[in-house]
């Protein structure tokens, strides 16, 4: 049996379902999801283990026309990633018409092809369960007119519709080769990055549109707590949440600190599942004025 291994990358405008699809293919949560655009800030690798292949999924931030220095850096991150993978999945949600953002990305992908890289692109129509069959057929036609695609695959990551088919299609474009990671590894992201992403995901639940772009999360430290007698092992996790204005700080904290407590409770459950131990989560909200436009602050916050 031929074994294939390599890298696949999902691109698409913000909130196209890339992270949810990554988690569905891996079979476990490795990328944070949110109904807010621009949730993903880092390229997160999820590893799909199959009998015939190992596929490393690179989940990128949404490619968009940038309005800030942060936006420019996120776009540069996406374009760098596209030059290093074996196959690209271009995600286009079925519940939204093909728009200027999709055409912008299609142009970028066509430019890659003319540069001589020749990376195959699979058009992935996400959220296919959200529309009637007739509308899905119209959407698939619109997608086919958008560019030259190696394949077009409609999927529903939430319902599992055609997720295995997409896996087969992507693996078909990988080169023959040995596994790149040990069996059982699901991601190569450091735990500290995953912890920050879980806090950020919890903080983005049900907030106003302005906040996702303005929120950065940095883990200050993860240290074992000194044990007293038969007390169970516990980690102290200290995390700073940075926003750009005092009004945003008030949104995160909520009335009497109620919202921040909810954020802490939700994030702590995910962090304890990730780290496999009890956690005391200490959250602090700070204002870093206009950090998205400040090169020094962007550097300090990990961008």
Specify whether the backbone of 273 is left (phi greater than 0), alpha (psi in -120 to 50) or beta: alpha
Phi, psi of 154 (to 5 degrees): -80, 135
Question: Could you give the dihedral angle defined by the CA atoms of residues 135, 136, 138 and 142, in that order, rounded to the nearest 10 degrees?
Answer: 130
Strand 234-243: give its sheet, edge to edge: 216-224, 234-243, 278-287
Dist. CA 166–CA 172, nearest whole Å: 10
Dist. CA 207–CA 39, nearest whole Å: 12
Dist. CA 283–CA 277, nearest whole Å: 18
Distance of CA 191 to the CA centre of its chain: 15
258-275 and 191-204 are packed helices; what angle lies between their axes, rounded to 10 degrees? 150
Contact 84, 7 (CB under 8 A): yes
Strand 87-91: give its sheet, edge to edge: 44-49, 53-59, 4-11, 87-91, 121-125, 151-154
Take residue 119 and report the two structure tokens written for it: 């990376």
Cα angle 66, 9, 293 (rounded to 5 degrees) comes to 20
Contact 59, 65 (CB under 8 A): no
Contact 124, 92 (CB under 8 A): yes
**Rg of the chain's alpha carbons, rounded to an integer?**
20
Contact 71, 101 (CB under 8 A): no
- pLDDT for 200: 86
**152 half-sphere exposure, CB direction, 13 A CA radius:** 18
Whether 4-172 shares its CATH topology with 191-300 is answered: no
Alpha helices in the chain, H assignment, sequence order: 18-26, 69-82, 100-114, 133-146, 163-172, 191-204, 211-214, 246-253, 258-275, 295-300
Distance of CA 242 to the CA centre of its chain: 20
What are the residue ranges in the chain where pLDDT is below 50? 32-42
- pLDDT for 285: 92
Dist. CA 196–CA 235, nearest whole Å: 15
Put simply, whether the predicted model's pTM sits higher than 0.75 gets the answer: no
- pLDDT for 116: 56
**Domain 4-172 -> CATH class:** alpha beta
Take residue 239 and report the two structure tokens written for it: 């995390």
Binding site listing: 12-19, 59-63, 126-129
246, β-bridge pairs? none
- pLDDT for 40: 42
Q: Which residue in this structure is represented by tokens 């735990």? A: 191
Take residue 214 and report the two structure tokens written for it: 């303005």
- pLDDT for 137: 95
**How is the chain split into domains, by residue range?**
4-172, 191-300
Indicate the SS3 state at residue 105.
Answer: helix
- pLDDT for 189: 61
Contact 28, 53 (CB under 8 A): no
Binding site listing for GTP: 12-19, 59-63, 126-129
- pLDDT for 190: 66
Dist. CA 212–CA 193, nearest whole Å: 17
Return the CATH number of the domain spanning residue range 191-300.
3.30.300.20
């Amino acid at each position: 049996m031929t074994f294939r291994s390599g890298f696949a990358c999902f691109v698409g405008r913000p909130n196209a379902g890339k992270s949810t699809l990554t988690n569905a293919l891996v079979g476990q949560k490795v990328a944070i999801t949110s109904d807010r655009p621009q949730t993903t800030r880092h390229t997160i690798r999820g590893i799909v283990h199959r009998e015939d292949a190992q596929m490393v999924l690179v989940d990128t931030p949404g490619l968009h026309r940038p309005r800030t220095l942060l936006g420019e850096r996120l776009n540069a991150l996406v374009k760098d990633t596209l030059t290093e993978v074996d196959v690209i999945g271009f995600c286009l949600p079925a519940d939204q018409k093909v728009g200027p953002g999709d055409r912008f990305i299609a142009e970028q992908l066509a430019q890659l092809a003319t540069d001589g890289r020749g990376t195959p692109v699979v058009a992935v129509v996400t959220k296919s369960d959200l529309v009637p069959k007739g509308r899905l057929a119209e959407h698939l036609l619109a997608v086919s007119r958008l560019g030259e695609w190696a394949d077009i695959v409609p999927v529903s990551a939430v319902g599992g519709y055609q997720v295995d088919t997409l896996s087969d299609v992507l693996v078909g474009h990988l080169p023959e080769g040995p596994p790149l990671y040990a069996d059982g590894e699901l991601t190569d992201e450091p735990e500290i990055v995953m912890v920050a992403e879980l806090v950020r995901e919890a903080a983005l639940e049900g907030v106003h549109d302005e906040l996702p772009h303005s929120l950065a999360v940095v883990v200050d430290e993860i240290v074992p707590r000194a044990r007293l007698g038969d007390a169970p092992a516990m980690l102290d996790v200290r995390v700073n949440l940075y926003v750009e204005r005092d009004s945003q700080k008030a949104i995160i904290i909520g009335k009497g600190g109620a919202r921040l407590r909810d954020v802490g409770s939700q994030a702590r459950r995910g962090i304890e599942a990730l780290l496999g131990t009890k956690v005391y989560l200490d959250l602090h909200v700070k204002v870093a004025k206009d950090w998205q436009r400040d090169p020094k602050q962007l550097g300090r916050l990990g961008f």
